[in-house]
Chains A and B, each alone.
Chain A
């Protein structure tokens, strides 16, 4: 699940990725003609709308891709960088940038690109931009109040409009395609040439424009990853096809005492219940958190067996099913509740040795000994048993 930085790709390697992405970025900008100032400002005079076409196509492609990835659980939207909104500085900053664009003929990315192939005017623009940032730095104390005013956090456009994410994506795509058609007509008039676009190309463009709409429709109407998991579980339950590997308490106690390193004992009750009593060596993953990204490793490894327990049969089975969908670790469930386990081992009452059968006495001896062993083990391994929890770090981004 994305983003891959920093757990799958390290922060150091991320810099190499940045270099590679930059190479791609520079290559595409140059190929599109963004290294020419005349082509860039053509947007504002109606003779060349290349910028608008490239810009909107790129934005819509990436946006629809993010939507699709999000829907199928490939990317966690809570972790990616969403530009924060400080309303006043966002508007005024944009207005100043627009003035810079029409006067200087570039924006920062395109000026670097043009300077790289030897455009001297672009080199001057880069120089000017660096001075501009320096002036900002020097005047920062004077304008910091304005810069930090109207902090709205990092809202998205669809939240502000109060509509769903796919609906917003649909609207933006429609606007983009409308803009493509309109500017194509304007360009023809401004250039005063009457080029005929061949029907073959028109049908190709029409086909390409349909693709984002199809993806938005898929996201709107077909179930996403979370729903697919729930549906499969519901289906399996209905057909009573679920096979649970159960483990009985004596066996588990024995395993804990002798092979604790081969087990993950997982308590799926609430943290409060866990605090009150939990099995030796157990870790707490409440049912609602089972499919969280931070526990993925637990359910994808194949070295240890996961043993789930709770107070109710339904909860523990649900947890085990969910874990089965995350990865293919070996999962078992304890066939008694946490409280039963406590009764059997820790609150055990000695049988009447006069009348008790040999079996009962053996059972008592085994359980009381196991209880002592388990407690000793917990004490000895107090710090080892704790899972290394991943802190989930949201990515930084933008131009900061």
Chain B
């Protein structure tokens, strides 16, 4: 079966905006994603290397501020929801299935390496910038946060500035 077309971007944006508004109204906070990665890595470290987790300052601080454990966290539950929601949408639109997506000229190896390195940079940057595109840029824009909007410009600005150097990864 052919995948169904994507939703009109403005309609999707409007719905996303309403969801974000509802989130702010109900919980007083915005949406997020990278925070769940942090919870996950803290939880893993707590299990694999408990000594390290109780010594290294980053883990110590995180565990101290999350007495119920790193996985009892708003963003962890939200990201579990994202997995369910995205899968549900994929099923409805016939888009579910193992696929490996890359630019037309990129080799498989190049895509594997760049996907990991890109993730690595994004993960690192999201911690440094106190939030990613969802938590800092989008939610920050909704509450007109100075830091959030600055980070948003930095993300997209650097994306554009570097686009030329990585064109072989994505363009024909």
Q: Which residues of A contact B (CB under 8 A)?
A: 2-5, 9, 14-33, 35-39, 41, 43-45, 50, 53-63, 65-66, 69, 74-75, 77, 79-87, 89-122, 124-138, 140-141, 143-144, 147, 152, 154-160, 165, 168-169, 172, 180, 205, 208, 394-400
- In contact, B132 and A97 (Cβ under 8 angstroms): yes
Main secondary structure of the interface of A (DSSP, over half): helix
Which B55-110 residues sit within 8 Å CB-CB of chain A? 56-59, 72, 74-75, 77-90, 93, 95-103
Q: In the assembled complex, which residues on chain B have CB atoms less than 8 Å from the CB atom of A131?
A: 116, 119-120, 123
A57-B8 Cα distance, complex, nearest whole Å = 11
Q: In the assembled complex, which residues on chain A have CB atoms less than 8 Å from the CB atom of B23?
A: 21
Given A93-B154, A102-B166, A156-B145, A30:B95 Cβ within 8 A = yes
- In contact, A399 and B143 (Cβ under 8 angstroms): no
- In contact, B124 and A133 (Cβ under 8 angstroms): yes
Q: In the assembled complex, which residues on chain B have CB atoms less than 8 Å from the CB atom of A60?
A: 17
- In contact, A43 and B159 (Cβ under 8 angstroms): yes
Given A4-B27, A130-B40, A399-B130, A102:B20 Cβ within 8 A = no
- In contact, B169 and A27 (Cβ under 8 angstroms): no
- In contact, B124 and A96 (Cβ under 8 angstroms): yes
Q: In the assembled complex, which residues on chain A have CB atoms less than 8 Å from the CB atom of B148?
A: 83
Q: Which residues of B contact A (CB under 8 A)?
A: 6-7, 9-10, 12-38, 40-42, 45, 56-59, 72, 74-75, 77-90, 93, 95-103, 111-112, 114-163, 166-167, 169-171
Q: Which of A31, A75, A115, A141 contacts B89 (CB 8 A)?
A: A31
- In contact, A22 and B85 (Cβ under 8 angstroms): yes
Given A27-B88, A102-B159, A32:B12 Cβ within 8 A = yes
Residue of B with least CB distance to A22: B81
Q: Which of B86, B99, B152 contacts A27 (CB 8 A)?
A: B86
A-B contacts, 21 of them at CB < 8 A, read A5-B27, A15-B74, A21-B78, A23-B85, A30-B93, A57-B9, A83-B140, A83-B143, A93-B126, A94-B136, A95-B158, A98-B158, A106-B118, A125-B119, A129-B122, A131-B119, A133-B126, A397-B27, A397-B32, A398-B135, A400-B35
A63-B9 Cα distance, complex, nearest whole Å = 18
A306-B101 Cα distance, complex, nearest whole Å = 67
Q: In the assembled complex, which residues on chain A have CB atoms less than 8 Å from the CB atom of B123?
A: 100, 108, 128-136
Q: In the assembled complex, which residues on chain A have CB atoms less than 8 Å from the CB atom of B84?
A: 19, 22-23, 26, 116
B144 to chain A, nearest CB (A): 5
Residue of A with least CB distance to B130: A398
Q: In the assembled complex, which residues on chain B have CB atoms less than 8 Å from the CB atom of A14?
A: 27, 74
Residue of B with least CB distance to A140: B58
Given A31-B12, A58-B14, A99-B162, A108:B133 Cβ within 8 A = yes
Which of B79, B87, B95, B118 gathers most chain A CB within 10 Å?
B118
Q: In the assembled complex, which residues on chain A have CB atoms less than 8 Å from the CB atom of B79?
A: 22, 112
Residue of A with least CB distance to B162: A102
Q: In the assembled complex, which residues on chain A have CB atoms less than 8 Å from the CB atom of B89?
A: 26-28, 30-31, 117
- Additional 5 contacts, C-beta under 8 A, given A81-B28, A138-B56, A154-B147: A28-B16, A61-B13, A100-B122, A102-B158, A131-B123
A138-B121 Cα distance, complex, nearest whole Å = 15
- In contact, A117 and B95 (Cβ under 8 angstroms): yes
Q: In the assembled complex, which residues on chain A have CB atoms less than 8 Å from the CB atom of B111?
A: 121
Q: Which of A45, A57, A91, A124 contacts B154 (CB 8 A)?
A: A91
- In contact, A157 and B38 (Cβ under 8 angstroms): no
